[in-house]
Amino acid sequence: MFRIKPSNTNQADDSASRDAKVSELRAGLGPLSGRSLKFCTDPCLRRYLEAQNWNLDKAKKMLEETLKWRSTFKPEEIRWHEVAHEGETGKVSRANFHDRLGRTALIIRSGKQNTSCPEGNIRHLVYLLENAILNLPEDQEQISWLIDFNGWSLNTNVSIKTARDIIYMMQNHYPERLAIVVLYSPPRFFKAFWKVVKYFIDTKTFEKIKFVYPNNKDSLELMKSFFDTENLPSEFGGKATLNYDHEEFSRLMAQEDIKTAKFWGFDDVAVHTNGNNGYSKAEVTPVAVPVSVASAAS
């Protein structure tokens, strides 16, 4: 039978209804100020409503929990020198390329795990998430994750508890931020780990997780639909080279910290990186830093 196309009127009504929900959610939150006001943009409210299938009460509760979490965790205050040691091996970093829609990409190299501190791992990931989001184009709300399993083993993997905490954080405090999560060529023994953690993942997030294998035609077509193979590192079936330089990435993140402080209205003093990839207080003029780091988490 003929399929009836939705009319422009119906689409307009739906759009108006959602705009009204956004206004209702904002009113329900009550007066906001400071960082909470900066955080709760209309697109932000839409993401929380979308995550809860436009259920106003559930979205309000979810957003209030996030505001409470942000007030204590303070993700916008994390600076690179606090988490730089976690990134020495390049286990998580921001890519120097974007996906086909111009979205920021994070690369996670599971075999490069270098610490066993859950709090440190999570703070490092949160820092890079916030930075990835800050670098999104104005018309984009989501980021892409590429997870490389080269060198991965149960010894280098994060614990089940840490994985669960990261999943909870992403789903509840960064809803609708994930465009796609690529698990590239995971080994067979990853299945045991996956069987446990997948039960912590909600349906919407689960649908964004893609297992990609280099010898699978459908997998390769999926990668091509999201990424330009000319920019994609060879670890993910592309033609580019993945070469993480920690000192160079640290210089880039020092400049990013200045941008973060400006965005959130902090009166931070610009800083130099020292030989330990930390900071020494000194007022400097920001300089352009070449992003040749070809590596990058609802």
74: left (phi over 0), alpha (psi -120 to 50) or beta: left
pLDDT at 155: 74
pLDDT at 4: 52
Share of the chain above pLDDT 70, in %: 85
Please state, in angstroms and rounded to a whole number, the distance separating the CA atoms of residues 214 and 185: 7
pLDDT at 151: 87
pLDDT at 297: 37
Please state, in angstroms and rounded to a whole number, the distance separating the CA atoms of residues 171 and 115: 24
pLDDT at 159: 87
Is pLDDT above 70 for 253? yes
Asked if residue 162 lies in contact with residue 122, where contact means CB atoms within 8 angstroms, the answer is yes
Amino acid at 34: G
pLDDT bin (cut points 50, 70, 90) of residue 10 is low
- Cα 261–Cα 267–Cα 272 angle in degrees, nearest 5: 70
pLDDT per position as a tens digit, 154-185: 777 788 999 999 999 999 999 999 999 999 99
Asked if residue 174 lies in contact with residue 167, where contact means CB atoms within 8 angstroms, the answer is no
pLDDT at 9: 59
Task: Tell me the average pLDDT across 182-207.
Answer: 94
**H helical segments located in the chain:** 8-29, 34-39, 42-51, 56-73, 80-83, 118-134, 160-173, 190-197, 203-208, 217-226, 246-264
Please state, in angstroms and rounded to a whole number, the distance separating the CA atoms of residues 297 and 147: 10
> Which of 3-7, 101-105, 198-202, 281-285 comes out lowest in average pLDDT?
281-285
More confident residue, 139 or 274: 139
Asked if residue 63 lies in contact with residue 35, where contact means CB atoms within 8 angstroms, the answer is no
pLDDT per position as a tens digit, 82-133: 999 999 999 999 999 999 999 999 999 999 999 889 999 999 999 999 999 9
